[in-house]
C-alpha cells in the first residue's frame, strides 16, 4: 500500500484490507481455467507491497477524511464546477504563468 502511505492513509486502510491469495478465473460454462493470477509473493518482491483487496467505500471514506481534515470545505456536493485557477499559494507545484483551466462544455 505504498501509494496510500504517501497520502497518509495507508496505515488506517491496512487493517481493513485483506491480502489476496492467488486467484483463478474459470469459465461459467464448463469450469475450465481461463486465467491464473500472479503468485502473491512475487508481487511483494516486484512492487514492494502486497496485493490486497479493499472495499471501495472504505477507500472513499479514508480519502474523504484525509481531505476534509486538511480543508473541511474542500468537497462540495450538489455543485457545478465551472473553472479553476491555480495559484502558487494554493498549489506548490502550480506554474504562475500557466493559463487557467477551461470549463468543459
What are phi and psi for residue 52, nearest 5 degrees? -125, 155
| Res 94: pLDDT | 45
Spans of all domains in the chain = 2-70
- Coil, strand or helix: which one is 47? helix
Element of type H or E holding 18: strand 18-19
Over residues 41-88, the pLDDT tens digits come to: 888 888 877 788 899 999 999 999 988 988 999 888 888 878 887 776
Over residues 20-31, the pLDDT tens digits come to: 888 899 999 999
| Res 100: pLDDT | 53
Alpha helices, H only, the chain: 2-6, 10-14, 40-47, 56-70
Amino acid at each position: 500500500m505504498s501509494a496510500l502511505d504517501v497520502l497518509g492513509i495507508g496505515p488506517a486502510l491496512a487493517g481493513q484490507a485483506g491480502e489476496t491469495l492467488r486467484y483463478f478465473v474459470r469459465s461459467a460454462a464448463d469450469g475450465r481455467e481461463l486465467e491464473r493470477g500472479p503468485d502473491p509473493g512475487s508481487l511483494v518482491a516486484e512492487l514492494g507491497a502486497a496485493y490486497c483487496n479493499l472495499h471501495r467505500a472504505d477507500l472513499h471514506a479514508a480519502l474523504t477524511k484525509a481531505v476534509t481534515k486538511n480543508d473541511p470545505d474542500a468537497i462540495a456536493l450538489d455543485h457545478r464546477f465551472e473553472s479553476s485557477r491555480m495559484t502558487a499559494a494554493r498549489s506548490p507545484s502550480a506554474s504562475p504563468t500557466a493559463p487557467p483551466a477551461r470549463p468543459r462544455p
